[in-house]
Amino acid sequence: MSLSRKLILSLACTALLAPLAARADMPTFELVAKDGRFEPETIEVPAGTRFRLTVTNHNAGPEEFETTRPFRELVLAPGVTRSTVYPPLQPGTYPFFGDFHKDTAKGQFIAK
């Protein structure tokens, strides 16, 4: 393989793998829907930093995790785990809720 082909291949691999490396360093928080509630109900996240939220549904039926500011929505069948990435949040409190258990599935992010 010629030097120019090796260089092009190397640059292409770097370009493809760089986003994966950046995601590996992203803070990740886990949330569980269980018995019509979210555990934990409060998640402290670093202000000004993107983060990943992983939600697992241990309810007997479906759950819909939702935030309005910023808008995110995940619909999960029983036993399903899904993730979403949040943009950097300003310091403050950001509520979330479960659309199928509005009275009990509530929580909040606190960005500090």
pLDDT, tens digit, for every residue of 49-67? 999 999 999 999 999 999 9
Q: Is the pLDDT of residue 14 over 90?
A: no
Average pLDDT, the chain: 88
Q: Is the pLDDT of residue 13 over 70?
A: no
**Model-wide pTM > 0.85:** no
Ordered DSSP codes for 64-112 = EEEEETTEEEEEE-TT-EEEEEEPPPPSEEEEEEETTSTTT-EEEEEE-
More confident residue, 78 or 3: 78
Q: Whole-angstrom Cα distance, residue 9 to residue 31?
A: 39
The number of residues making up the chain comes to 112
- Report the distance separating Cα 85 and Cα 72, nearest Å: 9
State residue 25's pLDDT score: 85
